Structure 1
Amino acid sequence: MKTQITYVNGKINWIIIVLFFSFNTIKAQISGNQVYRNNNYENNYNQGNLPNKTTVSINDNHLTVTVKMLHNKKADGFVITLGLNQEDETVSGCSKKINVRIDGFLEKIKSLGIKKENCYIDFISQTKIYDFNATNENAQQVDKGFEIKKNIIITTSNANSLEKLIAIASDFEIHDIIKVDYFNNDTNAIHNSLFDEALVLAEAKKIRYMKSFGKRIIGTPTATEEFATVFPKTQYKMYQAFESSEIETNHYNRNQYLKKLARKNKTFYYDGVSGAGFDKVINPNQTEVGIQYLLTLTMTYKIDTSI
């Protein structure tokens, strides 16, 4: 979000407002199977594409002050998406079987305080499926039946219920945890709070530099603001730590070697936006994975050149 602001007699006048939302829409402590995607896509927020130092510039005509704020916020709630499928020889058979599983699951999670109105069933697809009858001479494709896929979307404010919910899902052969989204109830309040604190810090910087250089401000300042929300899904990274031996083959030996590679474990970890270079970080030591809010406010003041 970018905003143009001016001040008249100590009051804020909003001159031009230009909005662009760069909200990047999760992964979490429970991230869902989307964690296996490529984690190096362009909208990752890291210190490589964020300013890591504060900026103040002054010349004979202008003083420019930049203030950067970071707020680490726990999520107020979560939206978990589970996927399941069902095969049968008929469409009606598929529908009955998958609905029995879903209804049983929804009934059982009531014990976690999750009501039916907090759940939504998303019908994904209904397709024919085929197989092959293979003989020694040929393989013939045959109609095997139908498959229905549905997603269950659940909203909960209790982080501790997520793991229990997943365990209950497995009882109904629901194993695909597609994703977990995070949300806060009042993003506007968070934004306003960051903006107010940034104004205070910008004013303190202005006073310090005017006093240091013996300058005086005239006219009204202008300002540019950028506000971004960083969700956990863009901040997960992956690595593999192992050492492997090699097989050296003899090109003059006609015997063939079959090399089978052992499975190497992948480690995924949350790497949120670092607090380095920010003027103020709210909740800097928060260990729980949550949502991060970034605000950058740049103020430009006119300097009296007659002094």
Structure 2
Amino acid sequence: MNTKSLLLCALTTVSAALSAQVSGNYNYRVNSDRYASQLRASQSSLANLESFDHHTFKVNGLFNVEADSYLAIFTITQLGQTQAEADQLVRRKTDSIKAALASIGAEVDIYVDMISFLPVYEVEVTKKLFSEDTYNEIPKGFELKKNLHFRYKDPSVLDELVTQCAAREIYDLVRVDYFIEDIEAKKAEMIAKAEAILMKNIARRKRLQGDDFSDLRAQIAEGFKMTYPFEQYETYTAYCSNSFNLQKQGAQVVQQTQTTSEFYRPILANHYDFVINPTILEPVVQIEYEVIIRYSPIPVEQREPEVRIERQVEKQLFFVNPEGSVQRLNF
């Protein structure tokens, strides 16, 4: 009986392991179920009927753009007994990095950004005989912080930057920014492609319905959105199981530390009408574009009824006698 149970457990675990090789360890996360349900919900409805007097056409697209240049920022923190010593140590490290990059022919622009310069204190205790001891802060040294900006075009340069900085005890990689040149040209390409699809859809609707929409009013709206790689990184905890660990009953189990990692998950292209550069290898800047045109009846101008005001003029006659007195005549 124990052998059968163990065999069943082993088969179940192997099956889960084979599944993980296809879908990835990320699917063991709780949030992956939520993401999958959202994905299924977005695909649940593939067609909708509109009212007879309104016709809406929508086209959206995605452009995966590889960056033209990158900016990596490292933070260096240096302690020194004097301001001059701290500054000299930082300068020595930055000059050494510049020389190392130049020696290997790396095309990198470097800028040093001043962040802060603060004194560092230590506490000195003053012993007193007839009162409490006093604690005084006295200057011990100085802390100098600077950011090192590295601009480059080849993404493989980042590995060399990490190596050179780590060799000089600079470990804090703050962020990496992505930059695109000639964004307007890429937007124009998306607009042209979307317009072609839009006109094709409108022509198809006219052919199927036999209506040219000439008696309807057209309204149009469009917009862009850009998503950078640093916005699309997610964390997950690596899945591990102790199903095969045979332990004595009542023995204390020491759980292994589960590693937390990150991965890049780009915007999925499943709900777009067109995708430019759909196959990607490295993190990219993703540009979304959407255009909507709606045909609706021309509103009829409502005129308020004209109000005619009739005026009645009352006539009165007066008689003025030679003496100058006025007398009203009734008739």
Alignment TM-score, normalising by the size of structure 1: 0.70
What is the alpha-carbon distance in structure 2 between the residues aligned to residue 53 and residue 113 of structure 1? Answer: 55
What is the alpha-carbon distance in structure 2 between the residues aligned to residue 294 and residue 165 of structure 1? Answer: 32
Partner residue of 1:266? Answer: 260
What is the alpha-carbon distance in structure 2 between the residues aligned to residue 96 and residue 275 of structure 1? Answer: 51
Name the SS of the counterpart of 2:234 in structure 1. strand
What is the alpha-carbon distance in structure 1 between the residues aligned to residue 39 and residue 124 of structure 2? Answer: 56
Partner residue of 1:40? Answer: none
Superposed CA offset, 1:174-202 (max 9, x none): 21111110111111111111011101111
Pairing partner for 2:149 from 150, 153, 157: 153
Answering whether residue 100 of structure 2 is matched by residue 108 of structure 1, we say: yes
Identity over aligned pairs, percent: 23
Whether the aligned pair in 2 keeps the contact of 1:71 and 1:292 (CA below 8 Å) is yes
Q: Which runs of 5+ in 1 are unaligned?
A: 1-45, 246-258
Partner residue of 1:9? Answer: none
Partner residue of 1:123? Answer: 114
How large is the Cα RMSD of the aligned pairs? Answer: 3.3
Partner residue of 1:32? Answer: none
- How far the C-alpha of 1:169 sits from its partner, in A, is 1.5
Partner residue of 1:230? Answer: 227
Name the SS of the counterpart of 2:268 in structure 1. coil
What is the alpha-carbon distance in structure 2 between the residues aligned to residue 54 and residue 129 of structure 1? Answer: 64
Whether the aligned pair in 1 keeps the contact of 2:106 and 2:157 (CA below 8 Å) is no
Pairing partner for 1:98 from 90, 104, 112: 90
- How far the C-alpha of 1:113 sits from its partner, in A, is 3.9
Moved more, 58-67 or 153-162: 58-67
- How far the C-alpha of 1:154 sits from its partner, in A, is 1.3
Tell me the amino acid that sits aligned with residue 239 of structure 1: Y
Whether the aligned pair in 2 keeps the contact of 1:76 and 1:185 (CA below 8 Å) is yes
Q: Which runs of 4+ in 1 moved over 2 A?
A: 46-62, 111-116, 130-134, 137-143, 219-222, 241-245, 259-264, 301-304
Partner residue of 2:53? Answer: 61
Whether the aligned pair in 2 keeps the contact of 1:55 and 1:65 (CA below 8 Å) is no
Q: How does 1:191-230 map to 2 (within 5 A)?
A: 191-218=187-214, 221-230=218-227
What is the alpha-carbon distance in structure 1 between the residues aligned to residue 295 and residue 107 of structure 2? Answer: 55
Whether the aligned pair in 1 keeps the contact of 2:123 and 2:136 (CA below 8 Å) is yes
What is the alpha-carbon distance in structure 2 between the residues aligned to residue 194 and residue 56 of structure 1? Answer: 25
Which structure is larger by alpha-carbon Rg, 1 or 2? 2
Whether the aligned pair in 1 keeps the contact of 2:67 and 2:178 (CA below 8 Å) is yes
- How far the C-alpha of 1:56 sits from its partner, in A, is 6.9
What is the alpha-carbon distance in structure 1 between the residues aligned to residue 271 and residue 86 of structure 2? Answer: 56
Higher strand share: 1
Counting matched residue pairs gives 244
Which structure has more RCO (C-alpha within 8 Å, separation ≥ 6)?
Answer: 1
What is the alpha-carbon distance in structure 1 between the residues aligned to residue 43 and residue 168 of structure 2? Answer: 48
What is the alpha-carbon distance in structure 2 between the residues aligned to residue 133 and residue 121 of structure 1? Answer: 36
Moved more, 286-295 or 123-132: 123-132
Superposed CA offset, 1:78-115 (max 9, x none): 00101101111111111111111111111221235456
Pairing partner for 1:165 from 145, 157, 161: 161
Partner residue of 1:285? Answer: 279
Name the SS of the counterpart of 1:208 in structure 2. helix
